[in-house]
Amino acid sequence: MTQHFVSTLFAIRSYFTWLPAPVVSVLMLVVVGVLAFYCGNLVTTQLLRIPGSRKAALIRRIVSSLRRPTRLMVALLAMLSALPAATGFTAAQEDDLQLFFLFLLILTFGFSAIMVFRIMTEVYLNRLAAREETDDIMIRSHQTQIRVLRRLTEILVGIVTVASALMLFPSVKQYGLSLFASAGAASLIVGLSARGLLTNLIAGVQIALTQPIRMEDLIIINGDWCWVEEINATYVVLRVWDWRRHIVPISYFLENQFENWTHNSAAIIGVVFLWVDYQAPMDKIREMLNEIVRGCPLWDGRVFDVQVADCDAHVMSIRIIASARTALQSWDLRCDIREKIIARIRDECPEALPRSRFSMMPPATGAQEPWERMAPPISRPPPGSYMGPGMGPGSSSMSSD
């Protein structure tokens, strides 16, 4: 078939002998490439018209994503096949063109392989998430493994593709062979210069296998509530509740301690502390809390209890525990419990509200008041004694008869 194609090109080329040979060769390659490009476009368009089914939908999605790479590969293959008929080039020019076309073909093929792998993994994850009976933990586990391993695979395929394309050129090939000859020194230099990158890449593989964190896990880092938004090959993007983002090296989660609130299950027990007076009717407060929690849709119906956890010289501390399906629902449940129980205590039993006390005790019989003990004694003259001129009440002097 290739020989027939080349023979046809020679026959067509014979009609243009009046043009310079290099010009004819260039025009022939351009025309062949353009025709092959549009033929590839026609084929992909027909494939997109396949009637709807699950497998056909996957084919349509792959073809739709690979339309441009496919057309480019078809054009490159056609020009490579037509290159023997381009007699207007010298042997060296023909070799250079062949290497250039092969270089582009390898790069396009590697890019297409990465795109196909990405589409197939996305389709698998979407189908897994569509199953109603599938556990949320299993979905996030598969998402973590596939996303991390997919990025590592993309990096590996990209490196192999670029290396294979560059090895076509003799100068690059000789350089590669010299590196292999001095593999010890080269590996030492590369290892020292890319230590951080290699550490995070290896940590990414460990994260995918052991899974201390998964996609959409709720973790506590540096005092912030964070959700795992992205797990890349070398770093992790954490979404904080106020929409901030933490960009953390992936090796951090293997070298440091952190809290994962959704590792095995998203359910969590929330704790609410309430401080009341010693005169608080505990039976009535328990009944009110029971009505509040059981009437709240955020409670998952598994754990609920009320206990006097502590007390001091002024108040009692009541601990209320209630479980919820997720950490966010647990937060809202605790806020709802606080708001409603405070309102009901204020309206129905205000004597339970915390208060400060002090008492005034009367002194014992015969005991002096504090101010009497502290004041100096006052000397009083005996009744009827002389008080001096001008000092007597109502007269200027007093005398005894």
One digit per residue, pLDDT tens: the chain, 401 residues? 555 555 665 556 565 665 666 666 777 777 777 787 777 777 767 666 655 555 666 677 777 777 788 888 888 887 877 777 666 667 777 777 888 888 888 898 888 888 888 888 888 877 776 765 545 677 777 778 888 888 888 888 888 888 888 888 777 766 655 555 554 555 555 555 556 677 777 888 888 888 888 888 889 888 888 999 888 878 899 999 888 999 999 888 888 888 888 887 778 899 999 999 998 999 999 999 999 999 999 999 899 999 999 988 889 999 999 999 888 899 999 999 999 999 999 999 898 888 887 767 776 665 555 545 555 555 555 555 544 444 444 444 443 33
Residue 357 CA neighbour count, 13 Å, CB half:
10
SS3 389: coil
Dist CA 394 CA 263 (whole Å):
99
CA distance to 118, 157, 198, per residue, from 61 (Å): 11, 21, 34
Q: What is the pTM of this model?
A: 0.57
Domain ranges of the chain: 1-168, 173-264, 268-352
Name the nearest CA neighbour of 236 among 155, 157, 151: 151
**Which CATH fold topology does 268-352 show?**
Alpha-Beta Plaits (3.30.70)
Please state, in angstroms and rounded to a whole number, the distance separating the CA atoms of residues 128 and 94.
51
pLDDT digits (tens, 9 = 90+) for 249-306: 988 888 888 888 888 777 889 999 999 999 899 999 999 999 999 999 999 989 999 9
In angstroms, how far is CA 82 from the centroid of its own chain?
51
Residues ≥6 apart with Cβ < 8 Å to 268: 261, 323, 324, 326, 327, 330
The two three-digit tokens of residue 139, written as one number: 């979905």
| Correct CATH for 173-264 of 1.20.1250.20, 1.10.287.110, 2.160.10.10, 2.30.30.60 | 2.30.30.60
How far is the C-alpha of 305 from the C-alpha of 395, rounded, in Å? 86
Beta bridge pairs of residue 108: none
